[in-house]
Amino acid sequence: MSQNQSASLDFDEGRYLYCAVRTADDPTLDIEGIEEGEVRIIEHEGIGAVIQPVEAMFDSDDLTKVRRWLLSHQRVVDAAGENFDTPVPFRFDTVIKGDDEQVRGWISEHTAELTGALDELSGCWEYRVELRWDESAVRAEIAEDDEELADLATRIDESSEGTGYLLEKQYEQRLADRLQDRRSDLAESLYDRVAAHAEAIETVGNNTTLLGADGATETDDEFETVVQLSVLAPESSEGPIGDILEEFLDNEGFDVRYTGPWPPYSHAPTIGGDE
Amino acid sequence: MSSAKPTRKKSDLADVLELVLDKGIVINADIAVTVGETELLGIEIRAAIASFETAAQYGLAFPSGTDMRRVEQASGREPLEIENEEGETETVDLGISASEGGSNAAKDEGSASRSPPGDRPDPEVPTITSSGSESESESSDEEVDEGSNEDEAADEDGEQNDEEVSEDEREDES
């Protein structure tokens, strides 16, 4: 994709895409777009593209400005979600070069893919679940309960400095292994139980964004992420998933973040091409 | 946070900012252009956005893909916060060269955590962050609200993003 980057940026007229929705005749959406831009819906064969006429891509080195754009994008998609069935959102700064007819043509070419996505995601929203725990407390608990660790601790106390050092290494390794075991078990358990209520679910791996993303918990707490999930589910699953999370919360030293409903960004398809 | 109901609080917006930036329908077509395929929004600013809340909390931004658990385990949070108080470590820790965007990001976040840890009345670092940048730009209202308005927004759906833009007055809360 990268070889035609610069060329692809040249356009006099374009249509910034917010989301695709199921629409009837002459749909409208009363909301301002990015930078107070005009938002319209271009409809073709029952599929509406929520768009904003643009003459350039949105680009800035100003973090604040970009964040505002992202929030504006989300606001428009939210508005579409309130007026229509689940919108299938486009990635930020996706523009079709050309006029309304070009957009119609694109919809026409990809009706099957768009219909598939709209049907698949219909009635579903994206939820984010993050399970966190007080890892130091879990460590202490494991150290207390594990016989082998207790045995190692005793031997460390009784041994010479050199042997003690090696035993301490063993101790730390076993503790780390046990901690990882418990983390994996919990993550698997949460995943499986939530999956029973989800249309789709995936672990959000090694993602910087969500870790500690909550301003609601103490900044300096000792909680660490056990697992983060992106869940596609109907609103009717909100309660059952919440109940599962409550059970995890009943254990002392656990915390849960449960956010949504968001438009199903993570479950939106790639349309066109082989990639 | 111990709610069985999903929330769309201001503090949750970090989730969706990342989604808007990195997820959603991607079009592969000659007639279309997507930010992901271009050099728009440099990697620094993307990292800064994607990790905004984290950055506010940790005092720096990590590149996407960083194994935060390992980072945490290796370093703990305290040293990271201390680093940030110097206000200059963010771009270094991005692991990429500094740029205008990265510098802006660093400035915002740096100003957030420049206040000594002891002065923090609550974890609403983003609030402080945006207050810091408020003087530079009107446009940081979102961040202000996002951090400070979470409780009253907790039970509402749909309206959140409108609110956060409109409730400017909350910036003084912290």
Give B58-77 pLDDT, tens digit per residue. 433 344 444 445 444 444 33
A contact residues 197-236, partner B, Cβ 8 Å cutoff = 206-220, 224-225
Contacts of A211 in chain B (CB under 8 A): 54, 68-69, 72
Q: 10 Å Cβ neighbour count for A238?
A: 20
Distance CA B125, CA B58 (A): 10
Q: Which residues fall within 8 angstroms of residue B103, CB to CB, at 6 or more apart?
A: B91
Which is nearest to A227 in space by CA: A208, A250, A245, A204? A204
Q: Is residue B86 part of a domain?
A: yes
Could you tell me how far CA A271 lies from the centroid of its own chain?
A: 20
Q: In sequence order, what are the beta bridge partners of A88?
A: A20
Burial of residue A115, with CB atoms counted within 10 A of its CB: 0-12 exposed, 13-18 middle, 19 or more buried: middle
**Total length of chain A:** 275
A contact residues 132-161, partner B, Cβ 8 Å cutoff = none
H helical segments located in chain B: 13-22, 43-50, 52-58, 68-75, 77-85, 90-93, 100-113, 125-134, 141-148, 150-153, 160-166
Distance CA A44, CA A192 (A): 40
Per-residue pLDDT of B80-135, as tens digits, reads 333 334 444 333 333 333 333 333 333 344 333 333 443 434 433 333 333 333 33
> Which chain A residue has its CA at the smallest distance from B48's CA?
A63
Tokens representing residue A177 in the block: 């292994």
Give the ipTM: 0.80
Predicted local distance difference test score (pLDDT) of residue A57: 87
Provide the sign of the torsion angle of the four alpha carbons B79, B81, B85, B90, taken in this order: positive
Q: Torsions phi, psi of B72, nearest 5?
A: -60, -45
Distance CA A128, CA A158 (A): 49
CA distances from residue A162 to A18, A159, A173 in whole angstroms, order as listed = 64, 8, 17
Q: Is residue B169 part of a domain?
A: no
Contact A106 B5 (CB under 8 A): no
Distance CA A204, CA A184 (A): 14
Q: Is residue B75 part of a domain?
A: yes
CB A33 within 8 A of CB A76: yes
Contact B7 A258 (CB under 8 A): yes
> Which chain B residue has its CA at the smallest distance from A251's CA?
B2
Any idea what the Cα angle at residue B164 is, between residues B163 and B169, rounded to 5°? 95
Contact B65 A219 (CB under 8 A): no
Q: Which residues fall within 8 angstroms of residue A144, CB to CB, at 6 or more apart?
A: A150
Q: 10 Å Cβ neighbour count for A101?
A: 10
Distance CA A71, CA B160 (A): 10
CA distance B89 to chain A (A): 17
**Which domain, by its residues, includes B109?**
10-150
Residue B6 has pLDDT above 70, yes or no: yes
Distance CA B147, CA B145 (A): 5
DSSP one-letter code for A13: S
CB A215 within 8 A of CB B147: yes
Predicted local distance difference test score (pLDDT) of residue B80: 37
Distance CA B30, CA A201 (A): 32
Q: Is residue B160 part of a domain?
A: no
Of B25, B130, B164, the CB nearest to A20: B25
The pLDDT mean for chain A works out to 87
Of A233-242, B6-15, B126-135, least confident by mean pLDDT is B126-135
CB A1 within 8 A of CB A275: yes
Contacts of B72 in chain A (CB under 8 A): 211, 224
A contact residues 156-185, partner B, Cβ 8 Å cutoff = none
CB A48 within 8 A of CB B73: no
Predicted local distance difference test score (pLDDT) of residue A101: 95
Of B3, B11, B62, the CB nearest to A215: B11
Q: Torsions phi, psi of B173, nearest 5?
A: -55, -45
Of A66, A216, A256, the CB nearest to B45: A66
Amino acid at position B110, single letter: G
CA distance B79 to chain A (A): 12
> Which chain A residue has its CA at the smallest distance from B73's CA?
A224
Residue A28 has pLDDT above 50, yes or no: yes
Q: Is residue B161 part of a domain?
A: no
Residue B38 has pLDDT above 80, yes or no: no
Contacts of B33 in chain A (CB under 8 A): 8-9, 11, 14, 57, 94-95, 97
CB A257 within 8 A of CB A129: yes
Q: In sequence order, what are the beta bridge partners of B34?
A: A94
pTM exceeding 0.90? no
Q: Is residue B85 part of a domain?
A: yes
Distance CA B171, CA B153 (A): 15
A contact residues 23-62, partner B, Cβ 8 Å cutoff = 57-62
Q: Compute the average pLDDT of residues A133-147.
A: 91
Predicted local distance difference test score (pLDDT) of residue A267: 92
A242 at the B interface (CB within 8 A)?
Answer: yes
The pLDDT mean for chain B works out to 50
A7 at the B interface (CB within 8 A)?
Answer: no
H helical segments located in A92-223: 100-109, 111-121, 135-145, 147-158, 161-195
Predicted local distance difference test score (pLDDT) of residue B166: 37
Per-residue pLDDT of A238-274, as tens digits, reads 999 999 999 999 988 899 999 999 999 999 998 887 5
Of A81, A90, A212, the CB nearest to B54: A212
Contacts of A271 in chain B (CB under 8 A): 25-29
> Which chain B residue has its CA at the smallest distance from A102's CA?
B31
Per-residue pLDDT of A94-115, as tens digits, reads 999 999 999 999 999 999 999 9
Of A54-58, A186-190, A266-270, B7-11, least confident by mean pLDDT is B7-11
Number of domains in chain B: 1
